[in-house]
Structure formats: C-alpha cells, structure tokens
Structure 1
Amino acid sequence: MPSPRDHVSDALRRFRRRAIERPDLKPAAVGITLVGGGSAFLLTRRAPSLRGHAGQWALPGGRADPGESPGAAARRELAEELGLVLDADAELGLLDDYATRSGYLITPVVLWADGEPGLRPNPADVAELHRVPVELIDVEPRFLTIPESDAPVIQLPLLGRLVHAPTGAVLHQFREVVLHGRDTRVAHLEQPVFAWR
C-alpha cells in the first residue's frame, strides 16, 4: 500500500498534463499545498485591500518572476503569503495550465508539507486561511451558463459557499486526477464575469 504522498505523486506522474502556449499572458503559479499527511490543503480568502480579485477564494500563489519555474513561484508565494517555506523536494507535480480572463496563465503546483506546519498569514495578502479536508472537494460541481460566454461557469460547493474558476477549476481537476485517477480537463471552464477584471 503506497503512502499518501506516494499515492499523490503516482497519480500526478500518470496524468498527461496539458500546457498552454500563451506568451501574451503573464505567467503565474498557485500551490495546492497538502498538509496533515495529505488529509487537507490550504485555501485563502484574499485581503480586501488587494488591487485584483479582492475577497475572492484563492490558492496561495501569484505572478512568476522572470525565469522562475512554476514550482519555485508557487513556493515563493506560499512563503510570502503564509510564512511556509518548502524546498523543491516538496513539489509533487503539476496540473493543467489555466488561462484567466484577467491576463494570467496559471500553472497549478501540488506541494507536500510534512506534518502540521506553523503558518503566519500575511495580512496584506490574506484575509482568511482555511485548512480544508481534501474529502470536502470530492463533490460534483455545478455548471452554469451565462450570456457573456459559450463556456460553462464552474461552481465548486465548499465551506458553505461556491468557489469559482480559476480556484474551483483547479481544485476540481485535483479531485479528478488524484482522488479518482481521471484525466478530466478544466481549462475550458469559464470564470464568472466578476472575476474577468
């Protein structure tokens, strides 16, 4: 029986990730950071003072520096936002790229944090920090149609709320790939109009 970490690594290794070539977009990365032996992940609500996407649900992450790999960018942002420092050995794999309406090309990085790490949320970036049991994302999302787009808007029921793309899409793909071994694609899923800016 593989360890929880090996199970996640094996699922990501079998997954045929799809990268998106969009040089017109700004490269960014988010971290799905697994804690508690892989039983939970870290989710934030962005600070209300932020210029972009204030108050929205988000995985720790942000824009990559020039020449910075997605894994390095996700780990740097995790340290800046939550005070959690991980080395490159914490990177377990990547999910599909997701192009946002606001001009970013996000690469999701799955990270492993041993034990129960101490966290220090940066109030300039983070209004709320949640340690979410992974089992809570093992649900069917809702898909809506909107007049502004032909693509369906994803809504992931979580913590009594609905989490939209890109975060909702990324977490749904993690559920499909890691929990169920399915190569489900999410790059086509739409964001709600309020997130287009």
Structure 2
Amino acid sequence: MSAAADLMQCDVALRALIQQHLHAFSVEVGVRELQHAAAVAVAITDAGHGAGLPGLPRHAAWSTQAALILTRRASHLRKHAGQWALPGGRMDPGETPEQAALREMAEEVHLELDADAVLGRLDDFVTRSGFVITPVVVWAGAAPYIRPNPAEVASIHRIPIAEFLRKDAPLLERVEHSEHAVLRMPVGSGWIAAPTAAILYQFREVCIEGRPTRVAHFEQPVFAWK
C-alpha cells in the first residue's frame, strides 16, 4: 500500500493528481457496436459512513477520505444478479460514453453530475458476455444524498481508495480455460471479480500510482461470462 494511502483525502489535490495522470495516459479503445456498447462511472467521492463490509471498518460520519462508489446489483436482474458493479449500463443511440455513464449513475444511485465532473477515461474492456465497457472517471465530491434505485441496485458502497492499494491486490488465479489469469481485487475479507475488478485495478495503477498499466487481457470468472 502507498505510504499516503491512509491519508488520501477527497480534495482538490487528489483531483488534480488524477487529472494529471489521465492526461498523460493513452487510452486503448475497443471496437463498439451500439447494441454491445456500455459505459460505467468510476466515481470518486467521500468515504462517508463507510462501506459496511466484512473486514472493512466503518469511518466517521461523512469522512473526507477518498472512496469509490460501487453497487451490488439487484437479485432479480436477469444478468449478473447480485454481483459487484460500477454504476453504468448500455449506451443509448447518439450518446457518448461520458453521457451514458452520467445518465446511468443518475438512474442507479440518484447522483446527478454535469459534464464538468468528467476527468477522463480508462481503457475499454471487452467482456466475455460480449460488451465493450468504457470506464469514465468522474469527480462526485461529497455526494451525501445518493440512494439505490431498487429496480437495478440492491445496495451502494463507498469503498475507500486505500482499500484498492493493498499489497495483496490484485489476486491472480491461473485457470485451465484461458492462457490469462483471472483477476480479482480484495475488499475487506472478500473480493470483487473482473471485469469490475480489472477496471478498479487500472484506476489504481493509472489514476493513483501514475503507471500506464493495461488490464484488457485479464480473464473473468466463469460466472461472469453470461
């Protein structure tokens, strides 16, 4: 973990650092077909009340420690029910990835941001289920009033960025069905699987550490293929 991880604050200095690193990063874009194009918001916010996850302690109310907004998908959804996710979904006709990410975030967690909140993009990630996901990094600030849309989201979690800087991250597992390792990111006493984990790892490497790390080659667990 970086020496400053425990002191990482959601402030103008962090925003400037992330913008600097994204400006220097050359994004790799996948081949998008509209019906398979999606965008997700990698939203930086305050840790607030904490994530409430096993093995991950809660923080003081509306802590200013920097965190990312993640969700658990609703259990009744036809695809990827109950899985960890970043706010996002399919791109509508005529939308840019930035517009789609902001729209989906407003729909899923009731967080409405304008275009000025967008800091940049990470690499497109092509999933086993056939989607080309574009991660859009956005600055969400305190975001004190977010709440889940029960039609899509079971719960919202503000996970401190420091958690993604752990020395045991990422977790890589060799599997028989692929030449590439499955990537997971540990959180508390559990873990998050790719593709979400791959995006989180690239956010850590590019936006925080300033390393131009690629993740598109990493494998996903079989349960995430459908």
TM-score normalised by structure 1 residue count: 0.95
Equivalent runs, 1:30-179 vs 2, <5 Å: 30-36=40-46, 39-139=66-166, 140-179=169-208
Contact 1:25 1:105 in 2 (8 A): no
Deviating runs (4+, > 4 A) in structure 1? none
- What secondary structure sits across from 1:40 in the alignment? strand
Query: Which residue of the partner structure matches residue 4 of structure 1?
Result: 14
CA distance in 1, matches of 2:185, 2:35: 25
Letter of the 2:164 counterpart: I
Contact 2:111 2:143 in 1 (8 A): no
Query: Which residue of the partner structure matches residue 19 of structure 1?
Result: 29
Unaligned regions of 5+ residues in structure 1, if any? none
Q: State which of 22, 34, 38 in structure 2 corresponds to 1:28.
A: 38
Please state how far the C-alpha of 1:115 moved relative to its aligned partner. Answer: 2.5
Contact 1:4 1:38 in 2 (8 A): no
CA RMSD of aligned residues (A): 1.5
Contact 1:38 1:112 in 2 (8 A): no
- What secondary structure sits across from 2:147 in the alignment? coil
Please state how far the C-alpha of 1:24 moved relative to its aligned partner. Answer: 8.3
The superposition leaves residues 14-53 of structure 1 with CA deviations (integer Å, 9 ceiling, x where unpaired) of 1111111243871100111111267111010100001110
TM-score normalised by structure 2 residue count: 0.83
Q: State the identity as a percent.
A: 51
Query: Which residue of the partner structure matches residue 192 of structure 1?
Result: 221
The superposition leaves residues 107-162 of structure 1 with CA deviations (integer Å, 9 ceiling, x where unpaired) of 00001112343112101111111011110001221111112211110011013211
Contact 1:146 1:152 in 2 (8 A): yes
- What secondary structure sits across from 1:85 in the alignment? coil
CA distance in 1, matches of 2:200, 2:155: 18
